Amino acid sequence: MRSLSDKVALVIGGSRGIGAAVSRRMAADGASVAIVYLSRSQEAEDFGKELQSQGTKVFLAQADVSDQRALSEAIDKVAEHFGRLDILVNVAGVAIVGPLDDYAEDAFDRTFALNVRAPFVASKKAAALMQEGGRIITIGSIVADRMPSYGGTLYAASKAALGGMTRGLARDLGERGITANLVQPGPIDTERNPADGPNAAANRGPLAIPRHGTSDEVASLVAYLASEDAAFVTGSTYNIDGGWSS
C-alpha cells in the first residue's frame, strides 16, 4: 500500500511548475489526482494523460480560480467525479511586481483575489467535503517573512496573509481531525523563476545553500504534510528556502 492509496488529492494550479511536481508526487504516493488549471489546455491534458499512463485516476477542470464562482464550481465537479476529497493543495498564485508608483489601480484586487481569496474559498469548500484526516496545504512564499529587494509589496503582503489564514483554519478544523499547514518556498527552479534566468544570481544572494531549489523538493515536503505521519502537525509554516530566512 502506498501512503496515499484510496485518497483523493485536489491540486489547484497543478499542471505546471511546483503544482505539477505536487500532482506527480500525490500520484506516486497512490492518490487519485484532480487538477484545476487556468490555461494551456493541451499541456494540461497531456500532463493528465502522463499520470493516467502510470495508473493514476485523474480529473482535470479548467477554471480561473480568482473567480469565486468558477472555483466553487470546479471543486463541485471534482467532488461529483470522485465522490470524496481528502487532500487540498493550493498552489496557484500571481506575482504583480514593480515600483510602487507603477501599480495599476486593480493590482491589489487581482493579487489578493488569486493569492488569498482563492485559497480561502477552496479551503472552506474542501473542508466541507472532507472526513477526519483531511489535509489542507497551501503554497506561499518566503517573501512573506523577508523581502530583500524593492518591487514586491503586494506579493509579499498577499503571501503574509496566508500564515494567519492557515493558523485560523487549523483552529477551526482541528476538532474534526483536519490539518492545515503552509509551505513557503524560496527560489525554486521553475518556468517563472529559472535557475539560469536573468534574476537567478540575485535570487541566490540571500541563500545559505547557493542554488535554486527544485519543484520535487517542495513536493516532498507537501507529501509529508499530506501523509498520516503528519497527523499531529497543524497550523504550522514550513520554510523550504535554502537558508533564505536564516
Instruction: Please give the positions annotated as active site.
Output: 155
Positions of E strands within 42-175: 58-62, 87-90, 135-139
Please report how many Cα atoms fall inside a 13 Å half-sphere around the Cα of residue 120, on the Cβ side.
Answer: 18
Lookup: cell for 165: 489564514
Contact 221, 205 (CB under 8 A): no
CA atoms within 13 A on the CB side of 166: 27
Phi, psi dihedrals of residue 23, rounded to the nearest 5°:
-60, -45
Beta strands in the chain (DSSP E): 8-12, 32-37, 58-62, 87-90, 135-139, 179-185, 236-240
Residue 90: burial class (beta carbons within 10 Å; 0-12, 13-18, 19+): buried
Per-residue CA distances from 152 to 108, 141, 180, 211, 221 (Å): 12, 12, 26, 21, 26
